[in-house]
Amino acid sequence: MEELRQSIEQLKTPKPGSKGEVEALRLSEEKSSKAFRSSPDWIVISTLDNGRFIDVNDAFLRITGYRSEEVIGRTAIELGIWVDTDERDKMAATIREHGKIRDHEATFRMKSGELRTMLRSAEAIDLEGERCIISVTHDITERKQAEEKLRVFADNLKKKNAELEQFAYIVSHDLQAPLITIGGFLRLLERRYRDKLDSKAGEFIASSIEGTVQMQSLIRNLLDYARVDTRSMDFEQIDATAILNQALANLNALLDESGAVVHYDNLPEVTANPVLLTQVFQNLVGNAIKFRGDKPPCINVSAEKKGREWFFSVSDNGIGIPQEQTESIFEVFQRSHDKNKYQGSGIGLAICKKIIEHHGGRIWVESGPGKGSTFFFTIRVSSLG
Ligand code: ADP
């Protein structure tokens, strides 16, 4: 832009000089003229006071659809190119005051009537004593449309997710009542008719009761998952050490019974929802104890700052997870170990994932059978910390 401006000024006010200077001027003029003509952005020279076109490049003519003779000597306001004429006045005022304007977004009307969004940078120049503006205008219509499409898509996705969560909540909530009834009547049957039925019937009833208990537990967990209130934006500046301590206090009995040792470094302050983050630590440390190996559980919690994120890790010396299941375990009801040996419903990690993603982070695990597991999650570094 600066080169172009200087060359135009030289062009309009050539100074007499040596042969070399004349040649240098000719080359400079040729360079700027080429840049002006072949630029993919539209470049316009117009007067500062009323915006009368002095020169326009090919990109301007191609994008707007005008012919050169239709625009030279006329103004963008007369031609209706400026959709908002106040905007033009504001731009001219800024240039008058500061000499230039950078990346100013505005909407322009093409000859066909089509509106296009453009990013304009402009500078004041003197042309033979007249104050003019040289402006370079970049067409961002397609980019804007793509951004808008993405925004609508993300909004719809958010809405669909909320609907799905609501659906999961209603279904699991409403399923509970009939299940309680079935369980209740099965127990009644078992108690009142035990003597009248044969042993096989007794076994069938016992298995049915066990089935209802399991189903109740699954529904309760599904409800827990649906209840994680990711609509809440109650984030605050919290000390992750205090949050971990709360989670450990909640796991007190399990820690005592297993003889687990938990080490942790100085954890940072983060912007997060304290209840939700406690739940994440509780689930991860709880799993590290549950899926322990032969030795007493040894758990390490730490955090490392990488760029704009904190990388938290919770590692254990437990039984580990087969490589091929390290992704699926974050989905609802996905488990990688024997259901009869390890109690649970496969919801805990799905809840952690939901919470961490709600905080704008990611969660994953590095593990292998017999190698222990390290769960990582990220939280953005807050503007305060
Ligand atoms: P749950 O613990 O109720 O089964 P989770 O969603 O918390 O549900 O975990 C899903 C599965 O991931 C577990 O069933 C287990 O197979 C595996 N897993 C989670 N944490 C660990 C861990 N620390 N060590 C080994 N396996 C784990």
> Please, is 309 exposed, middle or buried when counting C-beta atoms within 10 Å of its C-beta (0-12, 13-18, 19+)?
middle
81 vs 16: which has the higher pLDDT: 81
Phi-psi region of 344 (alpha: psi -120 to 50; beta: other; left: phi over 0): left
Query: CB–CB of 139/41 below 8 Å?
Result: yes
Confidence of residue 332 (pLDDT cuts 50, 70, 90): confident
101 bridge partner residues: 122
Q: Which atom of ligand 1 is nearest to the CA of 318?
A: 24
Q: Which atom of ligand 1 is nearest to the CA of 346?
A: 8
Give the separation between CA 4 and CA 24, rounded to whole angstroms. Answer: 15
Is the confidence at residue 284, as pLDDT, over 60?
A: yes
Give the separation between CA 336 and CA 138, rounded to whole angstroms. Answer: 54
Which positions ≥6 away from 193 have C-beta within 8 Å? none
Query: CB–CB of 131/52 below 8 Å?
Result: no
Which of 221, 287, 352 most suits a substitution to test ligand 1, by most atoms within 8 Å of the C-beta? 287
- Cα 260 to ligand 1 centroid, rounded to whole Å: 17
Across the range 17-21, mean pLDDT stands at: 61
pLDDT for 74 equals 95
Q: Whose CA is nearest to atom 4 of ligand 1?
A: 346
Main-chain phi, psi angles of 221, to 5 degrees:
-70, -35
Q: What is the mean pLDDT of the chain?
A: 87
44 bridge partner residues: 56, 135
The two structure tokens encoding residue 382: 């807050």
17 vs 255: which has the higher pLDDT: 255
- Dihedral over alpha carbons 16, 20, 21, 24 (to 10 degrees): 140
Q: Which atom of ligand 1 is nearest to the CA of 344?
A: 3
131 bridge partner residues: 126
Across the range 155-161, mean pLDDT stands at: 86
Across the range 365-376, mean pLDDT stands at: 94
